[in-house]
Amino acid sequence: MIHVPTSEPKSSTAQSTARVPPNRKCTLGTVVLGFSIFLVYYAALDGPFIFDDTSTIIDNSSIRRLWPLFGDGETTAPCSPPAATALYARPLVNLSFAVNYYFGALDPRGYRAAHIVLHFLSALLIWSIVARTLRLDYFHASFEPVADLLSLAAALIWALHPVVTESVVYITQRTELMMGFLYLATLYCSIRYWSTSHARGRTFWLALATLSCLAGMFCKEMIASAPAMVLLFEHTFVARSVRRALSQSWPLYVGLTLSWIPAIALNYDGPRTPMAGFSLGVAAHEWWFTQAKVFFLYLKLAVWPWPLVIHYEIPYLKTLSEAWPWLLAAGSFAISTLVLLWRNRAVGFAMAWVVAVLSPTLVIPLVGETVAERRMYVPLAALVPLFVVGGYTLLALAWQLVTRHSETSKTSEGPKKVAVVVTAVLSIGFGALSAQRLTAYETELSLWQDALVHQPNDPLVRANLGISFIQAGRLAEAIPHFAAWVQLKPDSHWAHYNLARSLEGSEPPEEAMKYYRKALELQPDHVASHYNLARLLEGNKKWLWAIKHYRRAIDRQPDFSAAHTNLALLFQSFGDMPEAITHFKAALRTQKDLNNYVHLMLALRQADRSTEAVVVAERALEIAQSQGETGVAEELEIVLTSLRNRPSDQ
């Protein structure tokens, strides 16, 4: 268990005046914090796996065993996660999933219980970090009487803040949770390093800080800014200059900087996230212009966390005339941050923390995810204490002005009582909002239905809502959303394709064919559109057009067994046995289907190729018997007898 820090001898670097509250207060605060988190999140334990959980957990063969830890290049293992998933180059998170699987297989409750515990531990770290910081000589003991109250308030409000719900309940976002915990642990251990005077203790905290930062690099690369933030913390609160910080704590910065080596090695050939990078269709300046606006949306959500949406549709700002207000605001924020850092202001450190943690996604395009609430998990750890301590400071000043003629004891106790009430109100309010938000995570369908309320013009919301309705067997409800997707994204062949698919069973075939043709106008090489259009054309007795599209599907995907089969059946019905035989054989190369063997045997018999027909019939008989198809097997035996009695092929 992590406790609010005890007092220690002053060191030449930290000069902390910390004094630990009594153990009873620590215990009570821990219980309040833990119970509050559990009360809000326990209802989410029974939620299902969603979205990327399929690839990271359900279909992830690397978590099925705990040993060996590493794969051999061809096989995966707990510390060798599969490529093209959210866990690639994040082996510690994958290993944690393997531990979950070992104890509970695919029961989501175990995974979410681990998330709740990890979130609780991060809240304890925030409590301890803020308490120790407020007791540093930097604040001249001005917060000594309320350090315990304010630090617990900051941890509690952060833990119950609605913006962190996605990170806690979306299991794949354990990458964010583990990285966040280790980011905070790195700072906590560094503070202990500065405040410890004994050489053995300093060595211990130095090693722990280094290991925390290094482990974080194997969870998510966002922790890369941690060494810089540790330096800025010492610069601001302890050493009061970068040069002095580097001089006094150089072993710490050597250790933290070494943790960059694995991060560079894992990402040397580009970002590991499949949809991240500058070559995915979004111009760099458009992304940066847009992120200037997004940055202030993040700040807004920190202050007013509603509405929350699983996906935000933020149109790209493509020109300077569109983006200049946000660029001006972002520039002002950056300049203010630099000035405040130069003057060693705590506000400057908090502002720099937010920018540093968000900077990877502010700079590198992540197509399809312009905004994500989970990215605020760690930045909020600086903003909430800033608001709590800053709010209390303003309250104390106002109280002093109002009660300047009152007794000192009343004057000092008044702001405390108000702070307790405000903390209780905010915690209850945020807890209620978080609990309400968690109801949306009951199913993927409910998440997208919730998103539709706030983002009705988001093509991705419409697309996923339609797909979710189809997966739920509610085809009629999917069609309007696919139609809206087409209207919102008329240049998307996927939109037209999905609308066509949904219309097949409820409209005349011409309507579905119209959208398949439009999909092919937008993407001529789309195999599924060629195949499905061919099926509809065949059913509408437009056989020549059907053959044309079957051939185009096969040209683009030569091993497309179903297309070969349908095309072979068409040729067989026309009496063109050579073509039918060719395509039946092609179908069987990739799919050993009993029906294809039977049809090929019949085509060979019609083509008077009895010897070949016997071989195929014998193979079909073996498959029929192995599959328990007794009736088919009996018929095949009769056909085989007939074929063997035929004259040999000439």
Distances in Å between the Cα of 288 and the Cα atoms of 188, 271, 321, 322, 328 are 32, 17, 14, 12, 13
Q: Residue 157's pLDDT band (boundaries 50, 70, 90)?
A: very high
Residue 72: inside a domain: no
Question: Are residues 566 and 633 both part of a single domain?
Answer: no
Question: Are residues 585 and 610 both part of a single domain?
Answer: no
User: How many angstroms separate the CA atoms of 541 and 426, rounded?
Assistant: 67
| Residues in CB range of 548: below 8 A, 6 or more apart | 534
Question: Are residues 339 and 359 both part of a single domain?
Answer: yes
Q: Which is higher by pLDDT, 24 or 5?
A: 24
Question: Are residues 140 and 217 both part of a single domain?
Answer: yes
User: How many angstroms separate the CA atoms of 547 and 579, rounded?
Assistant: 12
Mean pLDDT within 167-187: 97
| Residues in CB range of 272: below 8 A, 6 or more apart | 88, 89, 90, 221, 266
Question: Are residues 326 and 392 both part of a single domain?
Answer: yes
User: How many angstroms separate the CA atoms of 552 and 524, rounded?
Assistant: 9
| Residues in CB range of 265: below 8 A, 6 or more apart | none
Structural domain for 544, as ranges: 524-591
Let me know: does 202 contact 16? Beta carbons within 8 Å: no
Pick the last residue of a domain from 412, 435, 458: 435
What is the pLDDT, as a whole number, of residue 647?
A: 62
| Residues in CB range of 515: below 8 A, 6 or more apart | 486, 496, 497, 499, 500, 503
Residue 86: inside a domain: no
Question: Are residues 316 and 240 both part of a single domain?
Answer: yes
Q: Residue 14's pLDDT band (boundaries 50, 70, 90)?
A: very low
CA 358 to chain centre: 15
Buried b (16+ CB within 10 A) or exposed e, 442-481: bebbebbebbbebbeebbbbbbbbbbbbbeeeebebbbeb
User: How many angstroms separate the CA atoms of 420 and 336, rounded?
Assistant: 31
CA 454 to chain centre: 20
Residue 122: inside a domain: yes
Question: Are residues 642 and 540 both part of a single domain?
Answer: no
Q: Which pair of tokens denotes residue 300?
A: 């807004």
Residue 283: inside a domain: yes
Residue 138: inside a domain: yes
pTM value? 0.86
Residue length, the chain? 650
Question: Are residues 357 and 216 both part of a single domain?
Answer: yes
Let me know: does 43 contact 435? Beta carbons within 8 Å: yes
What is the pLDDT, as a whole number, of residue 115?
A: 97
Whichever domain contains 567, its CATH number is 1.25.40.10
Question: Are residues 224 and 360 both part of a single domain?
Answer: yes
What is the pLDDT, as a whole number, of residue 2?
A: 36
What is the dihedral angle through the alpha carbons of 206, 210, 213, 216, rounded to the nearest 10 degrees? -120
pLDDT (tens digit, 9 = 90+) per residue, 618-640? 888 888 888 888 888 888 888 88
CA 567 to chain centre: 42
Residue 474 falls in which region: left (phi positive, over 0), alpha (psi -120 to 50) or beta:
beta
Q: Residue 165's pLDDT band (boundaries 50, 70, 90)?
A: very high
Pick the last residue of a domain from 591, 607, 637: 591
Question: Are residues 276 and 364 both part of a single domain?
Answer: yes
Lowest mean pLDDT among 30-39, 293-302, 332-341, 468-477: 468-477
Mean pLDDT within 86-95: 91
How many other CB atoms are found less than 10 A from the CB of residue 84?
Answer: 9
What is the pLDDT, as a whole number, of residue 366?
A: 86
Residue 4: inside a domain: no
Pick the last residue of a domain from 419, 435, 451: 435
Residue 292: inside a domain: yes
| Residues in CB range of 564: below 8 A, 6 or more apart | 554, 583, 584, 586, 587
271 has pLDDT over 80: no
75 has pLDDT over 80: no
What is the pLDDT, as a whole number, of residue 406?
A: 58
What is the number of structural domains in the chain? 3
Question: Are residues 536 and 601 both part of a single domain?
Answer: no
- Tell me the longest C-alpha to C-alpha distance in the chain: 122
pLDDT (tens digit, 9 = 90+) per residue, 559-581? 999 999 999 999 998 889 999 99
104 has pLDDT over 80: yes
pLDDT (tens digit, 9 = 90+) per residue, 438-497? 999 999 999 999 999 999 999 999 999 999 999 998 989 999 999 999 999 999 999 999
Computed over every residue of the chain, the mean pLDDT equals: 89
Positions of E strands within 568-627: none
H, E, C per residue of 43-110: HHHHCCCCCCHHHHHHCCHHHCCCCCCCCCCCCCECCECCCCCCCCCCHHHHHHHHHHHHHHCCCHHH
pLDDT (tens digit, 9 = 90+) per residue, 526-552? 999 999 999 999 999 999 999 999 999
Residue 484: inside a domain: no
Question: Are residues 323 and 273 both part of a single domain?
Answer: yes
What is the pLDDT, as a whole number, of residue 602?
A: 87
What is the pLDDT, as a whole number, of residue 411?
A: 52
What is the pLDDT, as a whole number, of residue 225?
A: 95
